[in-house]
Amino acid sequence: MKFEIFKKLDGTLGRTGKITTPHGEILTPAFVTVGTKATVKSLNPEQVRDAGAQVVLANTYHLYLQPCDEIVRDAGGLGKFMNWSGPTMTDSGGFQVFSLGAAYGKEMSKVLKITDPSLLIPERFDDSDAPRLAKIGNDGVSFKSHLDGSMHYITPEKSIEIQHNLGADIIFAFDECTSPAEDLRYQEEALSRTHAWAKRSLEKHLQLNALRQAQGEQSMALFGIVQGGREESLRKKSAQIISDMTVDGKSFDGFGIGGSFAKEDMSTAVKWVNEILPEDKPRHLLGIGEPEDLFMGVENGVDLFDCVIPTRLGRNGTIYTKYGKISITNTKFRDDFTPVDEGCTCYTCTNYTRAYLAHLFHGKEMLGGTLASIHNLHFIVSLVDGMREAITHGTFETYKQSFLATYAK
C-alpha cells in the first residue's frame, strides 16, 4: 500500500491524497461503503460502483461465522467472492466485542450522548449476570454466536488469520472498543489490552505477509487502532503508542480511530489523535457517517470513514436530501411527483419520483429499499467527494457552510 498527500487544508489537519492498493486507488478523503457480509445490503456491486463508491469494507466477525473465512479464501478472497473489483477492507471484529458485551441489550450506537442515564455502564468488576454474548480476557474474547449459540474464542492472532483468509487490501488490528460511558478505571485497563493486542496483531500480520510474498501473492496492509474513550490523556497516549509500535523495524501502514464516541466531544477526540499520528500515513475514523460528522472528521485530518447509516436508513425509508432527512412514508409524499432530491444525479433521482418510492414502501416492495439505498449512498459518497474537490480548489469553508446552511433547515 502507498499513500500520497496532494494538498493540505489551511489552518486545519485536513488534506487530500491517494491510497494505492493492489486492487486500485482510493482518492481521499473518501467514504468507505460497508458490505457487512460481503454484500452491501439491497445493492449489487454494479449499483455500488455507479453510486460512486471507491472501496467496500466487510465485517470479520460476521464472515467468520457465515460462511466462514476459509470459504471466502477458497473463493479467491473477498473481492472475487462478492464480485467487487475495487479495493476492499475488513474490520478486526473489535466492535463486536463492544456490541456483544457492554452494549448488548442497551441499543448503543457508535455515537451517543453520555448524559443518557439508561446507557451508563454498571460497575464492570462485579460478577453480575447481565446478559452478554461476549466475555473479555487479557488473551482474547470468548463469545456466543448470535446465529446458533455456539462458543468461539478470538485472539489477536486469530483475528489476523481470519482477515488474511478474507484477503482484503487493508485490514485492522484486533482491539477492544469501549463506551464513553465506561469509568476511567476500565478505560485504562481496556487500553492496555488494546495496545498488547495491537503488538500481537502486527507480529502475526508480518508473519502471514511473509508467507504471502513467498507464495507470490500480494501483501496486505494493516492499520493499528487508537482507543482511549473520551479521556484526553488516554487518547493521546494511545495515539503515541500505536504510532511508535514496531516489530522487527516495521510499523502499521495506517491507523484507525476507534471507540464509541460521545457526540458532544467527538471532534476534540479526533483532533487529539490526529495531531499525534504520523502525517504520512492514512487515518480511518471507524463507524462514523453523518454529514456533520464527516465535515468534522475531514477538518481534523481523517482520510477514510465507514458507516452502515446510508443503506440502513434507506432500507427503512429515511432519505437524505440537501434540506435534511425525509421519511418517504409520510402521507405528503404519496402524490409528490418530484425527484427524491432535486438536482441529484443518482439513478434513483433521475428515474423515479418521491410518489413512486412512497408507493413502494407502503406496498412493502423490496425495490423501495434498493432505490432509497442507491440515493443515500450516492448522497454521502458525493458529499465527501465534494469535500475533496473543495480542498483542492481552496473552497472548503464555503462548501461546508453552504451545505450545512440548507441541510440544517
Say whether pLDDT at 109 is over 70: no
The pLDDT, as a whole number, for residue 122 is 37
Q: Which residue has the higher pLDDT, 134 or 204?
A: 204
The pLDDT, as a whole number, for residue 186 is 87
Say whether pLDDT at 119 is over 50: no
How many C-beta neighbours within 10 Å does residue 150 have?
A: 9
Confidence of residue 132 (pLDDT cuts 50, 70, 90): low
The pLDDT, as a whole number, for residue 409 is 62
Find the range with the poorest average confidence among 80-89, 91-100, 158-167: 91-100
Find the range with the poorest average confidence among 42-46, 105-109, 232-236, 299-303: 105-109
Domains present along the chain, CATH in parentheses: 2-307 (3.20.20.105), 318-407 (no CATH)
* Strand ranges in 221-323 using DSSP code E only, listed in sequence order: 221-226, 254-257, 261-262, 283-285, 304-307, 318-321
pLDDT 10s digits, 392-404 = 999 999 999 999 9
Among candidate residues 91, 175, 253, 341, the one labeled active-site is: 91
- d(Cα 305, Cα 341) in Å, to the nearest integer? 23
The pLDDT, as a whole number, for residue 112 is 52
The pLDDT, as a whole number, for residue 177 is 83
Among candidate residues 169, 253, 306, 341, the one labeled active-site is: 306
The pLDDT, as a whole number, for residue 95 is 65
The pLDDT, as a whole number, for residue 116 is 45
The pLDDT, as a whole number, for residue 105 is 47
pLDDT 10s digits, 225-273 = 999 988 899 999 999 999 999 999 999 999 999 986 666 778 888 999 9
Over residues 94-105, the mean pLDDT reads 55
- Mean pLDDT of all residues belonging to the chain: 90
The pLDDT, as a whole number, for residue 265 is 72
- d(Cα 25, Cα 129) in Å, to the nearest integer? 48
pLDDT 10s digits, 56-66 = 999 999 999 99
pLDDT 10s digits, 301-313 = 999 999 999 999 9
Confidence of residue 183 (pLDDT cuts 50, 70, 90): confident
How many C-beta neighbours within 10 Å does residue 270 have?
A: 25
The pLDDT, as a whole number, for residue 128 is 43
Say whether pLDDT at 123 is over 70: no
Rounded percentage of the chain residues whose pLDDT exceeds 90: 78
This prediction has a pTM of 0.91
Residues 193 and 176 sit within 8 Å (Cβ to Cβ): yes
Say whether pLDDT at 280 is over 90: yes
Q: Which residue has the higher pLDDT, 26 or 146?
A: 26
Say whether pLDDT at 99 is over 70: no
How many C-beta neighbours within 10 Å does residue 330 have?
A: 12
310-313: long-range contacts at Cβ-Cβ below 8 A with a sequence spacing of 24 or more? 310/33, 310/373, 310/376, 310/377, 310/379, 310/380, 311/34, 311/40, 311/41, 311/42, 311/43, 311/373, 311/376, 311/377, 312/41, 313/372, 313/376
Say whether pLDDT at 101 is over 60: no
Say whether pLDDT at 102 is over 60: no
Is-catalytic flag, 91?
A: yes
How many C-beta neighbours within 10 Å does residue 194 have?
A: 28
